[in-house]
């Protein structure tokens, strides 16, 4: 597996959650490496004994707001944004949580077999498609970029997020978490749901 050295631009805690926003830059400011939708990367760090530790993470959009929907098909390929859940006694997440701006780590080339023809068939449908998305815990991360892409399909009127053509998907996102404290981006998701109220319904559930 090929790894590329990267540096930390920002590591920011998300208040009230065990999650962190991690923003990385390739070691060369002019490097260009897109991560396709539905793909992930491996992060690699050394533990205190010098042993490499690797874990998979799915890139996310740098922010989750209605405004970002208008640019969901654009990605700043010289940077990489990740949503990291820090687990108690988690080896990799603990190492990530100690990173400082300017620190180095390694990122693999994109990995995944997500079929873009499947996505194309949904978005090019002559009938209005219904999309059901299920996530559990940190599994919300692979859904975020896809969600923005689905919502990006709206009419030419940027002032009306609900004025859509017949091919714009209607999305139902169901998120499962163990406790309320394990939820992330609740306010941001609620804002999206409000702005796209005719197209998006989000259901937050807890394990019993």
Binding residue ranges for FAD:
55-57, 83, 85, 92-93, 141
Rounded Cα gap, residues 195 and 157, in angstroms: 14
Beta bridge partners of 40: 111
Rounded Cα gap, residues 31 and 26, in angstroms: 6
Tokens 């939708």 sit on residue: 37
Which uninterrupted H or E stretch holds 133?
strand 130-136
Residues marked as binding?
Answer: 55-57, 83, 85, 92-93, 141
Q: Could you tell me the end-to-end alpha-carbon distance of the chain, in angstroms, rounded to an integer?
A: 39
Tokens 């163990």 sit on residue: 178
């Amino acid at each position: 597996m090929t790894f590329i050295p990267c540096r930390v631009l920002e590591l920011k805690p998300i208040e009230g959650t065990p999650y962190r926003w991690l923003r990385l830059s390739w070691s060369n400011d002019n490097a260009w490496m897109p991560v396709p939708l539905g793909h992930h990367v491996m992060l690699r760090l050394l533990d205190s004994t010098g042993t490499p530790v690797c874990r998979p993470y799915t890139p996310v959009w740098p922010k989750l707001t209605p405004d970002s929907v208008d640019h969901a098909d654009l990605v700043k390929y010289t940077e990489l944004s990740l949503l990291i859940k820090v687990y108690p006694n988690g080896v990799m997440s603990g190492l990530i949580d100690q990173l400082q701006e300017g620190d180095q780590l390694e990122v693999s080339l994109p990995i995944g077999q997500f079929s873009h023809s499947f996505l194309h068939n949904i978005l090019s449908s002559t009938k209005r498609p219904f999309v059901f998305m299920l996530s559990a815990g940190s599994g919300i991360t692979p859904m975020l970029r896809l969600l923005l892409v689905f919502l990006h399909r709206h009419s030419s009127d940027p002032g009306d997020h609900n004025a859509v053509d017949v091919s714009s998907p209607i999305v139902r996102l169901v998120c499962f978490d163990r406790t309320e404290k394990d939820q992330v981006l609740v306010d941001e998701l609620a804002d999206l749901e409000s702005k796209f109220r005719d197209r998006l319904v989000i259901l937050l559930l807890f394990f019993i």
